[in-house]
């Protein structure tokens, strides 16, 4: 059995930290917003930004992994995964936008970051399946 590379250990730790922060801020913020005494608009805006910051940290973690990888083949697979995940996300956003233009839907994808993470995960399976 092979050992996990150091860069993957760092990636796993960073990912766990940012996901834990995201869950804590999201649950705490939404609980406060849905409480009997919710905060005013300025505080809600701060909570929204604070909730987004760990997601930005997850993006940074993924791109940092790409930089830290010392196996060029694994780096190639990760690059393909990022490109395919991005292309799938852009495809979803484009179709959704034209559905909006033609009056079929009235709201665009508001969770584009989450959609990208899902497409990134799906792309990982596709890239490694085709490798």
What's the pTM value of the predicted model, to 2 decimals?
0.86
What's the whole-number average pLDDT of the chain?
93
pLDDT of residue 38: 84
pLDDT of residue 39: 82
User: Contact 65/104 with Cβ under 8 angstroms?
Assistant: no
Tens of pLDDT, residues 84-114: 999 999 999 999 999 999 999 888 777 899 9
Sheet strands (E) in the chain: none
Q: Residue 7 CA to chain centroid, in angstroms? A: 19
Instruction: Name the token pair of 13.
Output: 């730790």
Q: How far are the Cα atoms of 39, 71, 75, 76, 106 from residue 98, in angstroms, in the given order?
A: 37, 41, 35, 33, 10
Q: Does 5 have pLDDT greater than 70?
A: yes
Tens of pLDDT, residues 54-65: 999 999 999 999
Give residue limits of the domains in the chain.
1-70, 71-131
pLDDT of residue 1: 59
Tens of pLDDT, residues 66-85: 999 999 999 999 999 999 99
């Amino acid at each position: 059995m092979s050992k996990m590379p150091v860069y993957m250990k760092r990636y796993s730790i960073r990912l766990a930290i940012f996901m834990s922060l995201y869950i804590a801020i999201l649950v705490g913020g939404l609980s406060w917003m849905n409480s009997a005494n919710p905060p005013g608009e300025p505080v809600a805006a701060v909570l929204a930004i604070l909730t987004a910051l760990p997601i930005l940290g997850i993006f940074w973690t993924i791109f940092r992994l790409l930089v830290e990888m010392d196996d060029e083949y694994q780096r190639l697979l990760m690059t393909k995964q990022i490109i395919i995940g991005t292309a799938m996300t852009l495809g979803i956003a484009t179709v959704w936008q034209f559905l909006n233009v033609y009056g079929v839907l009235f709201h665009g994808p508001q969770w584009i970051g989450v959609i990208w993470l899902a497409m990134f995960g799906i792309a990982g399976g596709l890239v490694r399946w085709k490798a």
